[in-house]
Amino acid sequence: MTIKHYDVAIIGAQISGLLTAALLVRRGFRVLLIDHDGIIHKYGEDQYILPVLPEIILTPHPQSLITTIHTELGIIQDLRIHLQKFDPPFQIILPKKRLNLPLEKNQIISALITEWPDIAQAIEKFFLKIEHIESEVSNYLNGTEAFFPDGFFQRRRVRNFSVGFENVSKHFLDTDILEDFPQNHPILELFIAPLFFFSNISPRDASLAQFARTLGSFFRGASHLSTKVGHLRDMLLKKFTESGGEVLYNTKIQSMTFSRRKAESLHLTDSQY
């Protein structure tokens, strides 16, 4: 039995796992990345080559933490060179037609009001709320001294700092963000769908900050990489391995042991970590 020691073990080598792993190993942590399949970008269907997952990147907030992370990892310029915006970015499929969403926020609001004039005031009020929450989240992320906080005193400072930002952790369904819209109105699906599609988060589990951030990015448009399928994953994996990270593919976890709510060890198919 082989025993190795790491600071962090990340399970799953898709974008979120790779991004977290690359960032942590760059900051000096010993990181193990585990995936049961390996990184598979595409599959064949008849004569077509299709991506396993949608290769769509939402446009982040200008002060977004993800932009800071991309800069820290040294991939921001590569992304800017190869990103191409969709035009139109999205379509709403209605019973009798398709509604194209423009690229600019005020035009999006106008298009939605034209389609549903009976809830015009609610639409305008909703976008103002989203803008306010996004601004609050940005102020929180820019003012927090560390990601990830290390040690008792740093964690306490981050907790104390967080008290003044009520929308950062408030649960999405416990708020009145959608209260001005009629129940079961089709526009609600438009607002909630990005959580599922882009974040893989159920509204039952989402915070108001996650909802506002995802929706704000959704309405700023979406882009795709003009290069090969899986280019973003390849970039992140390269950064991770170049910085000393270790990857285990085709590996299954048999069990985990915990101590004080933290994972202490992982028992894999043929070793222990």
Write out pLDDT tens, residues 213-229.
888 888 877 777 777 66
Residues present in the chain in total: 273
Name, of 41-45, 133-137, 167-171, 243-247, the range with top average pLDDT. 243-247
Give Dmax over CA atoms of the chain in angstroms. 67
Mean pLDDT, the chain, whole residue set: 80
Would you state the pLDDT for residue 248? 85
- Least reliable range by pLDDT among 25-39, 51-65, 156-170: 51-65
In terms of Cα–Cα distance, which of 214, 247, 235, 217 is closest to 31?
Answer: 247
In terms of Cα–Cα distance, which of 57, 59, 55, 56 is closest to 220?
Answer: 59
- Least reliable range by pLDDT among 185-194, 201-210, 213-222: 213-222
Would you state the pLDDT for residue 25? 93
pLDDT, tens digit (0-9, with 9 covering 90-100), for 142-177: 666 555 566 677 777 767 766 666 666 788 888 888
Q: Is the dihedral of CA 175, 176, 178, 179 positive or negative?
A: positive
